[in-house]
Amino acid sequence: MKPYLAASLCLVPALAFASVPVPSPQALWKEIQGLQKAHAIMPESTPYQVGSRTVDPYTTDLANAAAIRSIQKSGGITKVTRYENGSLVVKENYNSRKRLVGVTAMLKLRGYDAGDRNWVMAAYKPSGANVAFGKVGTCIACHVLVRQQDFVFAPPPAQLLPVSTWKAFFPNQGMNPAYLALLKKYPHRIVR
- For 112-127, how does the pLDDT look when each residue is reduced to its tens digit (9 = 90+)? 999 889 999 999 999 9
Residues in the chain: 192
Answer whether residue 5 shows pLDDT above 90. no
**Sheet-wide strand order for 58-63:** 49-50, 58-63, 88-94, 100-108, 119-124, 130-134
Secondary structure of residue 91 in the 3-state scheme: strand
Of 128, 137, 138, 132, the closest CA to residue 92 belongs to: 128
Decide if 30 is inside a domain.
yes
Q: How is the chain split among helix, strand and coil, in percent rounded to 5?
A: 35, 20, 45
Confidence of residue 192 (pLDDT cuts 50, 70, 90): confident
CA distance 112 to 89: 16
Decide if 192 is inside a domain.
no
Per-residue pLDDT tens over the stretch 79-118:
999 999 999 999 999 999 999 999 999 999 999 999 889 9
Decide if 49 is inside a domain.
yes
Report the run of H or E that residue 32 belongs to, with start and end.
Answer: helix 25-38
Identify the domain containing residue 116 by its residue range. 8-153
Decide if 43 is inside a domain.
yes
Confidence of residue 178 (pLDDT cuts 50, 70, 90): very high
- What DSSP letter does each residue of 63-96 carry, written as one string? E-HHHHHHHHHHTSGGG-SSPPTT-EEEEEEE-T
Measured CA angle at 21 (ends 18, 23), to 5 deg: 110
Residue 20's pLDDT is 64
CA atoms within 13 A on the CB side of 98: 5
Decide if 131 is inside a domain.
yes
Decide if 12 is inside a domain.
yes
CA distance 149 to 71: 10
Domain count of the fold of the chain: 1
Higher pLDDT, 3 or 124: 124
Q: Which residues contact 159 (CB under 8 A, 6 or more apart)?
A: 78, 146, 153, 189, 191
Residue 155's pLDDT is 96
Residue 3's pLDDT is 31
Q: What is the pTM of this model?
A: 0.88
